[in-house]
Amino acid sequence: MTLKYQAFYCEENIWHLCQHPDYQDGHVVFISALGDYFPMFHQRNGRGENRLIFWDYHVVLLQAGMIHDFNSSLSFSTPIEHYFDYSFALEHQLEPPMIPRFRVLPAADYTTSFLSDRRHMKSESGWQATPPDWPAISDSSSNLKQFCDMSDFEYGDVLTQSELLIKYS
């Protein structure tokens, strides 16, 4: 089974994954923080022994107690408890703006409500990362900032790490 993947386009990778018959019953987890970024460990593009990277946002799929993450240096499908133990710092170790929050919504809701025309990946000097060879989700609209804004509650449920683990473990 070949899945669509393009580095640095996690929101599109997961959007396409949600449409695959084997993954349609999952929940999309949009990860962001109240500040500009949050730390994550065991990510392919991370540095050092623990593969640390600071993301402005990241998107994964939760399905039947497993996290599916194209960018993880753990396996693509990792049990939720293991994924969280290895991917996130303890909240008390972080400054409040860097504590990740998790927007969780059914895969079907994500595929019908999420829009991206990739504007967030363009700068005056060009693409920040090579775009996928498939068409953008939208030709002219994007609500990516709204999905990343953890003070906006229009889509899904915004949870803390402990709330997510209690609800989905």
| Residues annotated catalytic, as ranges | 10, 58, 69
Does residue 80 contact residue 64 with C-beta atoms inside 8 Å? no
Q: Where are the alpha helices (DSSP H) in 51-142?
A: 80-87, 107-113
Does residue 58 contact residue 71 with C-beta atoms inside 8 Å? yes
Q: Give dist(CA 161, CA 99) in Å, integer.
A: 9
Q: Give dist(CA 101, CA 38) in Å, integer.
A: 9
Does residue 107 contact residue 24 with C-beta atoms inside 8 Å? yes
Chain-centroid distance of CA 107 in Å reads 13
- Residues near 135 by beta carbon (within 8 Å), at least 6 away in sequence: none
